[in-house]
Amino acid sequence: MGRFTRGKLSGRVIAALCGLSLVATSAACGASNDADSDTTPSISFMLDWTPNTNHVGVYAAQALGYYKDAGINVNVLPTAQAGAETSVENGVADVGFTTLSNVAAFNAQGASLRYVFDLTQKPVARWCALASRSDIRTPKDFDGKTFVSFGSAEQTAVIRQMIKSAGGKGDFQTATAGTNTFQTLSSGKGDFGGFYVTWENVESKLNGPALNCFVASDWGVPGNPDQLGFAVNSSWLKDAKNKKTLQTFITATIKGYDYALSHPDEAATLLVKQTKEANLDPKLAKSSMEEIVKGGYWTGEANKTSLTGKLNMAQGQSYLDFQYQAGTYKDSDNKNAQTAPQASSLATNAYVEH
């Protein structure tokens, strides 16, 4: 994943990683079906970051011909400088990889996004310091330290709650993260940061440095803070053809994710081959898939090989309420949202319950 944030990428990073225009369809940052005709329904899917195992279901469905068999053409787009959410809102992409909380934040400012597929059924974020830091043993020890951040109010609220739950005051400084949080921590410019257990934590185990990590839900943060999945523009769904294409896309994509859960090594290999310019480490990709299956992060159960794609509305609402109370969600005038976002309005399970 390369980072833990729910914000934008700089244009420089985008250019360096992709070296492509937004509509590129090379194997590195974008891919397209072989099927391509005026009569074949098409849908575009924008990544939230560089390709990684979070996206493996899409790449597996592409490589194994699931989209072609379903009769749709899928164009995978590299993430844009403005982010997947803005790109979906503006019609640059039909579907974007995002989080439920991001949808809430954008909609509070006037967007009309709809969350239509949820991948992660268990928290995947980890808040970590280097294991060599003997002065950090619980989140209370984050007090007075420097958080390596991407400037997210959402993250700030999570960290503050964790510190208070552990008996601290919730006071800390922030330092802007570079493209590699490991390097920022190792350089001494920060004391702790956010990682994904299915990617950076796997990388830590393979290559170091060792980390000492905490899960937000273990330290006073309610619900599931890490509901990652797909969103579309609500207005785009008003067209019956688009709704049908989305249904076909999600059904075939779930088939791709199920393949990845049943064949983790093979799926990791497909991901690496289809995203060559991303230079993914094959060992990291395979180890990541092994962690995903073993931990049941997509299914809720260890070693289960099929997912539902359903959003747990109750868990989502608990987390949205928490962030609302923390003042995370702002309206277009940068004032606190007047009411808490409602998971049942932001999201639907209709496309995974057919």
Same domain (yes/no): 57, 90: yes
For residue 39, what pLDDT band results from cuts at 50, 70 and 90?
Answer: confident
Neighbouring residues of 130: CB distance < 8 A, sequence distance ≥ 6: 185, 186, 209, 210, 211, 212
Buried b (16+ CB within 10 A) or exposed e, 213-248: bbbbbebbbbbbbbbbbbbbbeebbeeeebeebbbb
Tell me the C-alpha distance between 29 and 279, whole Å. Answer: 11
Of 150 and 292, the structure prediction assigns the larger pLDDT to 292
Q: Please name every residue paired with 115 in a beta bridge, in sequence order, or none if there are none.
A: 231, 347
Which of these three, 176, 202, 218, is where a domain ends? 218
pLDDT at 35 over 90: no
User: By residue range, what is the domain housing residue 180?
Assistant: 127-218
Domain containing 156 — which CATH number? 3.40.190.10
DSSP code of residue 140: G
> In Å, how far are 59, 222, 293 from 296, measured between CA atoms?
20, 20, 5
Task: Give strand pairing partners of 46.
Answer: 77, 96
| Dihedral sign (CA 346, 344, 350, 68) | positive
Of 56, 68, 6, 79, which Cα lies nearest the Cα of 32?
A: 68
Residues 6+ apart with CB under 8 A from 284: 199, 202, 203, 206
Confidence label for 38 from pLDDT (cuts 50, 70 and 90): low
Q: Quick one: pLDDT band at residue 28, thresholds 50, 70, 90? A: very low
Q: 270 in a domain, yes or no?
A: yes
Averaged pLDDT for residues 178-194: 90
CB 58, CB 274: distance < 8 Å: no
pLDDT level of residue 150 (50, 70, 90 thresholds): confident
Q: Is 92 domain-assigned?
A: yes
- Tell whether 134 and 118 lie within a shared domain: no
State how far the Cα of 153 lies from the Cα of 167, in Å rounded to an integer.
21
Q: How confident is the model at residue 4 (pLDDT cuts 50, 70, 90)?
A: very low
In a domain, 167, yes or no: yes
- Please give the span between the terminal C-alpha atoms of the chain, in angstroms, as a whole number: 31
Question: What digits encode the pLDDT tens for the residues 219-241?
Answer: 999 999 999 999 999 999 999 99
Mark whether 201 and 235 lie in a shared domain. no
Q: Is the pLDDT of residue 21 over 50?
A: no
Q: Could you tell me the pLDDT band of residue 151, with boundaries at 50, 70 and 90?
A: confident
- The number of domains in the chain is 2
Looking at the structure, tell me whether residues 116 and 247 fall in a common domain: yes
Residues 116 and 249 in one domain: yes
Q: Say whether both 38 and 90 belong to one domain.
A: yes
Mean pLDDT of 323-329: 98
What does the pLDDT read at residue 20?
Answer: 30
Strand bridging mode 228-233 / 73-77: unpaired
- Percent helix, strand and coil across the chain, each rounded to 5? 40, 15, 45
If asked whether residues 230 and 82 sit together in one domain, one would say yes
Distance (Å, whole) CA 154 – CA 326? 8
Q: Note whether residue 297 is domain-resident.
A: yes
pLDDT value for 264: 98
The share of the chain scoring above pLDDT 90, in percent, equals 85
- Show which of 194, 218, 242 is a domain's final residue: 218
For residue 292, is pLDDT > 70?
yes
Whether 93 and 237 share a structural domain = yes
Judge whether residue 337 has pLDDT over 90. Answer: yes
Per-residue pLDDT at 100: 98
From residue 57, alpha-carbon distances to 137, 252, 304 in Å are 36, 9, 15
Mean pLDDT, the chain, integer: 91
- Whether 3 is in a domain gets the answer no
Kindly indicate the confidence band of residue 130, based on its pLDDT and cuts at 50, 70 and 90: very high
Instruction: Write out the DSSP string of 55-116.
Output: GHHHHHHHHTTHHHHHT-EEEEEPPPTT-HHHHHHTTS-SEEEEEHHHHHHHHHTT--EEEE
The whole-number average pLDDT for the span 66-71 is 98
177 and 72 inside one domain: no
* Same domain (yes/no): 107, 183: no
Q: Taking residues 52-70, what's their average pLDDT?
A: 98
Of 169, 187, 218, the position where a domain reaches its end is 218
296 and 213, same domain (yes or no)? no
Separation of alpha carbons 126 and 145, rounded Å: 17
- Residue 4 falls within a domain, yes or no? no
In a domain, 352, yes or no: no
Same domain, residue pair 327 and 249:
yes
Helix (H) or strand (E) segment spanning residue 318: helix 313-325
Give the residue from 79, 90, 134 showing the smallest Cα distance to 112. Answer: 90
Query: Does some domain include residue 327?
Result: yes
Integer Cα distance of 277 and 51 in angstroms: 10
